[in-house]
Amino acid sequence: MSLKATSFSYTFRAVTTKTSRTGREQLAYRHILLAMSVVVLFIFISSLGYYLIEPRYSWHNAVYMTVISITTTGYEEVGGGLTKTGRVWTIFVLLGGVITGAVTLSLIVAVIVEGRIRGLFGRRQLERKIASLSGHVIVSGYGRMGRRIARLLKEGNRPVVVIDNSPGKTALAEQDGVLYLLGDAQEESVLLAAGIDKASSLIAALPDDAANVFLTLSAHGLNESLDIIARAQELSAQDKLTKAGATRVVCPLVIGSNRIADVLLRPAIADFVEMAHKGVDLEIEQLTIRPDSPIAGKTLLDLALPARVGAMVVAIHRPSRETLYNPGPDATINEGDTLIVIGKQGMDKAMEKLRQTGQV
C-alpha cells in the first residue's frame, strides 16, 4: 500500500553518512595506534641500545634507564654509571624522547580536537537543516516502532525529524539517514528545536502511555493545528490520549487482535488487504485535492480516473472528517477532499504524473 497525501520532495540525509562516519572512526583509531606504536618502538630501540652498549645491563636495567631518561625523572644511573658511549646514547634517548612525546601528544590531541570540532559543526549543520523544514513529521521515540515508521515515511518522501533521548537510538537514526535530535521529547524546548511550529504531524511513540499523554499535551499546546498520532500500549490510555489532543490513537493490541480475527473469520478479505498492502497485483493510494486543483468543484465522472490511470475511487474523505464510501460518478470533489483510490500495480506512478503535470 502506498499512501501519499500531497507531493513532497526531500532527500533524507544525516549530518554525516554511515560510510564517512566509519571512515573517520577508522582514521582516528589509526592515528592513536600510530602514536602508541611510535612510543613502543622508541622504547624498544632505546632499551636495545643500552643493552648492547652497556655490557653490565640486563634487559630490565636497559628498559629502566630508557624510562627514567625519556620521562626526565632524574634517578641515579644503574649499574655503577654509564660508559662514555652510554652517555652519548643517553643524549640520543633524551632528545628522541622529547620528539617522540611531542609527536605522540600532537597525534592524540589532533584526534580529540578534530572530533570535537567536527561534532560541533555537525550539530550546527543538523540544526540548520531542521530549521529549514516545513510540513515535516516529528517521530518521538526511535524504538522498533518509531524506526519502522520513520523508514516508511522516508520511502514515501516525507521529511522526518526523530527525537530520542538515547545516544544509541540517535546513532541508529543517523545510520538510517534521518534527521534527529538528542533530547527528551516531553520538553517544550526540544519540540521547538524540532520545528513543531512548522511541522504537519507528530507521532508519539514513546515507551509508555504516561509519557505519550504528556507529550501529546505539550505538542498540542505548542501547535493546535498539528496532527498527532499517538501509540497506546493499554486500552485504557486511548481516551486519555484523545482528550490530551491526539488526532488519532493507534493501539497495537487492537490492531493485532483485529488482524488475527480477520484471518480466521474473513480470510479472503484479509488476503486482499495484505495483497494491496504489498502492492503485488493492486495498490491503494490516496489523493488530496489542493485548493488550486483544476478538478476542485467537479465530479468523479469529470476526473475519469478509471480511464486515465486504471483506478477507481472507493471513498472520499471530507475535511470535516465525513467519509463518503462507494461514491457515485456524480459525487462532487471539493478542495481539501482526500480520495481513496484502488487500482492495478503501477497506479501510483500514473497518479504522481497527474500531480506533476497539474491535472489533479
Q: Which residue has the cell 487482535?
A: 257
What local confidence, expressed as pLDDT, does residue 147 receive?
93
- Residues of the chain with pLDDT > 70, as a percent, come to 84
Greatest C-alpha distance within the chain: 111
Asked which of 34-38, 166-170, 215-219, 227-231 is least confident by mean pLDDT, the reply is 34-38
Higher-confidence position of 90 and 356 = 90
Q: What's the mean pLDDT in 324-342?
A: 89
239: cell is 481516551
* Nearest residue to 99 (alpha-carbon basis) of 32, 33, 35: 35
Rounded to 5°, the CA angle 189-195-201 comes to 115
Instruction: Please report the domains of the chain, with CATH numbers, ordered by start residue.
Output: 18-129 (1.10.287.70), 134-255 (3.40.50.720), 271-356 (3.30.70.1450)
Q: Where does the pLDDT of residue 18 fall: very low under 50, low under 70, confident under 90, or very high at 90 and above? A: very low
Least confident of 18-32, 213-227, 316-330, 343-357: 18-32
- pLDDT tens per residue across span 258-275: 888 888 887 877 776 776
At 283 the pLDDT is: 75
Q: What is the pLDDT of residues 143-156, one digit of tens each?
A: 999 999 999 898 88
Model pLDDT, residue 66: 83
Per-residue pLDDT band for 342 (boundaries 50, 70, 90) equals confident
The larger pLDDT score, comparing residue 252 to residue 266, is at 252
pLDDT at 23 exceeding the cut of 60: no
Asked whether the predicted pLDDT for residue 28 surpasses 50, the reply is: yes
Query: Confidence band (pLDDT; 50, 70, 90) for 174?
Result: confident
Q: What is the pLDDT of residues 302-313, one digit of tens each?
A: 888 888 888 888
- Looking at residue 299, the DSSP 8-state letter turns out to be B
The SS3 of residue 332 is strand
Tell me the pLDDT band of 279, cut-offs 50, 70 and 90.
low
* pLDDT score of 227 more than 90: yes
CA nearest neighbour of 343 among 314, 302, 323: 314
pTM: 0.56
Model confidence pLDDT, tens digit, residues 197-221: 999 999 999 989 999 999 999 999 9
Q: Is the pLDDT of residue 332 over 60?
A: yes
What is the predicted pLDDT for the residue at 3?
Answer: 35
Three-state secondary structure along 12-63?
A: CCCCCCHHHHHHHHHHHHHHHHHHHHHHHHHHHHHHHHHHHHCCCCCHHHHH
